Amino acid sequence: MSESSKRAMKAKASLAELIRHGESEHLELKESFGRDAIETVAAFANAKGGTLLIGVTDKGQIQGVRVTSSSLKDLANQIDQGTGLHPSIESRSLRGKPIVLIRVEESKVKPVMFRGRAYKRVGNTTRQMSLEELTRVILDSVGATWDEVPDPRATLRDIDPAQVKRFVRLANEEGRRPIPRSISAGDLLAKLDLQKGKQLTRAAVILFAKRPQKFHLQAMIKAGRFRPEGLIVDDREIEGTLWDQVEGAMNYFRERLQTRFEITGRPQRTVIWEYPLEALREAVTNAVCHRDYLSSGHTQIRIYDERLSVWNPGALPGGLSIEMLKKEHASKPRNRLIAKVFFYAGLIEQWGSGIDKMLRETRNLDLPEPIFEEADGFKVTFSNAAIHQPAKPARDGQATAQVTAQGTAQVTAQVEKLLKAASREPLSREELQNILNLNQR
């Protein structure tokens, strides 16, 4: 048998094996060539490439298709005119029936459009891209990030001078980017690349605007306290700039989380929080810094009896995995300008170090390590198992006091008594203090 015959047999066997496995992200089977076939070609080019077989049903049955030199040329012209692509097209024979094999390479220029629409591959189906997905592809193709795009709706009049002064103070305290304290808002934004010509970038808006949600409604945090039965005990929207959101989240934690106190012999007691606050700060900072702002979803904080989670829209950037996060890894910020400004202000210690800090802070309290997962976005979950266990004895042998239900009940009773007293008639502070049997203001 000649070498060419051996190669032909091997190619047929490979093709039959491909069909046997069925349609996938990289394989499409079509009985005939039409508009939907060209849409699939465009989808393959917008992804990692793929193979299209004409003359095969989606069940893998070989039906064959009429193949001539003119029909192949016509097919190539339709793809070229519709998408500008020039894939490899050839005829094959399988089980004695002619089929057409189209191999599509990933396009270097994206998105590939067909009749004004862009398509993507989702499993074994071809779907039209949403505006959000299309924008993401365009940004990736030119090497830009969402926060670097100018926002033509915003002007310097929308910038809050107080936010600018706060950043200048933080940056000078950190010493990573010394900035004159008298610098104007316009000069600061220009120095930080937050202004393109005369237009403010999206980063400038959500970092320094008076009302960022006026321009980007999705740029906010939703926080809630939940009971096991699914009951929402508390629900809060945290808006403002990203600085405001981080601090607003920390205030929410301080209001809602339990504490215990260790008596160590020093003048002040040591406060042990239900979760390490610095780890929570890192989780929230990472969420607002690295979230996908093209998504309409909000950053979410959920507090349950036994766990706390921080979720943000947007999976890990390409090339990163959950396993890699716990090792030393290069930072791939989804929003480069925001990450840079956060670094100057000290909210990010070192790019790529946030995960390590969360792990370190939880270990210091003997808590389980946080769980990192991709769940239609990125989520970090903390467990509070240790707060409900007996605290470790202090080194000097003194007891450790913990906040208990008894203390909560006492405070609740005092509040109830106060409300009843105040509802009858106006009372002074001294009178209310006497009713509650309190010695101090």
- Distance between CA atoms of 269 and 388, rounded to whole angstroms? 19
Number of Cα atoms under 13 Å in the Cβ half of residue 223: 22
Please tell me the class of the 3-130 domain: alpha beta
Architecture of domain 144-403: 2-Layer Sandwich (3.30)
3-state secondary structure (DSSP) of residue 399: coil
In the chain the first and final C-alpha atoms are separated, in Å, by 102
Looking at residue 39, its pLDDT comes to 97
Residue-level pLDDT at 260:
76
Q: Are 264 and 394 in contact (CB under 8 A)?
A: yes
User: Contacts by 171-176 with C-beta closer than 8 Å and gap 24+?
Assistant: 171/344, 171/345, 171/346, 173/346, 174/344, 174/345, 174/346, 176/343, 176/344, 176/346
- Give 359's Cβ-side CA count (13 Å radius): 10
Separation between Cα atoms, residue 371 and residue 364, nearest integer Å:
16
Q: What is the pTM of this model?
A: 0.72
- Which stretches in the chain have pLDDT values below 50? 387-388, 390-411
